[in-house]
Amino acid sequence: MGINWNLSNEAGNSLTTADRNIPWLQDTLESNVRRLWGVTYRDVVILDSLNRPINPPFNLTANDLSSAATRELLKKRLRDAARFVDSDDDGIGDDWEERFFGDLASGDADDPDLDEGSNFFEYALGSKPDSPEDLARLAAEFVTIENDDLFSLRFRRRLGEAGGLNYEIQRSGNGEDWENVGDLFTLSRKTGTYDGSGTEEVVFVAPASSGGPFLFRVNITRLSR
């Protein structure tokens, strides 16, 4: 993300964003991000998952990116900010627990909003553990794409290894014996939610004529550490 901190002056914005696909914000006298963040010219401000600045900023005047060592240093700062941390080893990121509960006391099997979705379930699928109306669901439907009849599964998942989880599509003919069938499905769409949940919405599709009937589920497990 970039910010034009030339307050209330949009000159040069179109030139800066030409042929680029990045968020670009215009600062204003009312917002005054420059003063609010206390940054100086060419500061790279890295935020953690709770939008808290990680200090000190990485200044590109003091740290010349033409140096390979400096580029690696900046990459390390970014990777450290995105690193998955689970201090209480319950499979849920500390930042998520702190965001919703203020501490790490609520366990992975707890259900504080009484919506029959555990903390682990709500963390994995990007819903809010303090709102019973927000429980995530797996959406299944038959669709037609370019004249192909397909079976579609849509759900949210945490972004990359920073979420600490693995997702596997499974099916069963009797509701008891399950098999992994991820190789039958193709990722059709992946959309960032950009809502602060750290999740993306994915749609997987498979040929509709695959026998059955079957039950489907997404089996969610912790990545080996």
- Position 205 scores a pLDDT of 95
The string of DSSP codes covering 68-136 is HHHHHHHHHHHHHHH----TT-SSS-HHHHHHHHSSS-S-TT--TT-SS--HHHHHHHT--TT-GGG--
pLDDT band at 39 (very low <50, low <70, confident <90, very high): confident
- Position 161 scores a pLDDT of 76
Cβ burial, residue 1 (10 Å; 0-12/13-18/19+): exposed
As a residue count, the chain comes to 225
pLDDT band at 180 (very low <50, low <70, confident <90, very high): very high
- Position 202 scores a pLDDT of 95
Decide: 124 and 157 in contact? Cβ < 8 Å: yes
- 2-18 pLDDT, tens digit each: 888 888 788 889 988 99
> What three-state secondary structure class fits 207?
strand
Q: In this structure, are strands 179-180 and 165-172 parallel, antiparallel, or unpaired?
A: antiparallel
pLDDT band at 225 (very low <50, low <70, confident <90, very high): low
Enter the tokens of residue 139. 């959406």
Decide: 194 and 211 in contact? Cβ < 8 Å: no
Residue in this structure with the two tokens 């990459």, named with its chain if needed: 75
The set of residues, in sequence order, having a beta carbon less than 8 Å from that of 224 and lying 6+ positions away, is none
- Position 3 scores a pLDDT of 83
For the 139-222 domain, the top CATH level (class) is mainly beta
**Dihedral pair phi/psi, residue 53, rounded to 5°:** -60, 135
> What three-state secondary structure class fits 27?
coil
Residue ranges of domains in the chain? 2-82, 94-124, 139-222
Residue in this structure with the two tokens 């794409």, named with its chain if needed: 145
Decide: 144 and 115 in contact? Cβ < 8 Å: no
- Position 195 scores a pLDDT of 81
Q: How far apart are CA 127 and CA 135, in angstroms?
A: 6
